[in-house]
Amino acid sequence: MKKTLSLLFAAVIAVVLLAAPAYADDTYISGNAGMVLSRNADINQVNGGTLLTLPLSEGMNVVGAAGLVFDNIRIEGEFGYQKSGINDQLGKGHERMLSLLVNGYYDFTTEGIQPYVTAGAGAAQARLSRFLIGGSPDAFISNDSVTGFAYQFGAGVSFPISETILIDLRFRHFAMSEITEANLVKYSPSNNSVLLGLRIGI
């Protein structure tokens, strides 16, 4: 199911990016990297309430995209990777996420700095890697990955440095629908990130 969903989503992105350029004003590629801000993760029992709340440390977020420009509107396909650490007396390990999203942007027309808002949706694969509760290897260890619906929204600004290259700075919120790990616990991955990168017209 995970592989089928990923392939289907990739096919949709490919069709959009290959078929639509004839109607677009411009095309571009972009890359951004930055920090996932620290947050708390609620780990819930499948048949009960909250099992524990874990503090997730700051992590990394890297995204790459290819998109189309239609006047003030941009549409793109994005691939992303995120990783945050868990290091607490109640639990240790990592949270990792891979995502495939279709994003939309609205660029406000200004001289120089160009602010924008963005939202997107798609699929993501989350994994609690080498995760254990209470310091005991027998408590709970998960290397399972789970795929589910994902979305993002945020805002940013672009700074043109040439006719085809812009520096991009953004803040965004990313979240997945509630997922179940190893049929034992469930949680809803989400985070906020600050990203810096380049957008290049092609």
The pLDDT assigned to 163 comes to 87
Closest to 16 (Cα-Cα) out of 76, 64, 103, 74: 76
Nearest to 159 by CA among 91, 98, 107: 107
Residue 20 has pLDDT above 70, yes or no: no
* Lowest pLDDT segment from 39-43, 95-99, 103-107: 39-43
Highest mean pLDDT among 9-13, 93-97, 197-201: 197-201
Q: Which residues form the domain of 197?
A: 2-201
Least confident of 77-81, 125-129, 171-175, 196-200: 125-129
Question: CA 125: distance to chain centroid?
Answer: 10
88 against 133, higher pLDDT? 88
User: Would the pLDDT of 128 be above 70?
Assistant: yes
CATH number, residue 147: 2.40.160.20
Number of domains in the chain: 1
Q: Is residue 7 predicted with pLDDT exceeding 90?
A: no
pTM as predicted = 0.81
- The most confident of the ranges 5-9, 46-50, 81-85, 130-134 is 81-85
Range name among 18-22, 122-126, 138-142 with the lowest pLDDT average: 138-142
With 50 as the cut, is the pLDDT of residue 182 above it?
Answer: yes
Share of the chain above pLDDT 70, in %: 73
Residue 153 CB contacts under 8 Å (≥ 6 apart), including other chains: 117, 118, 119, 120, 172, 173
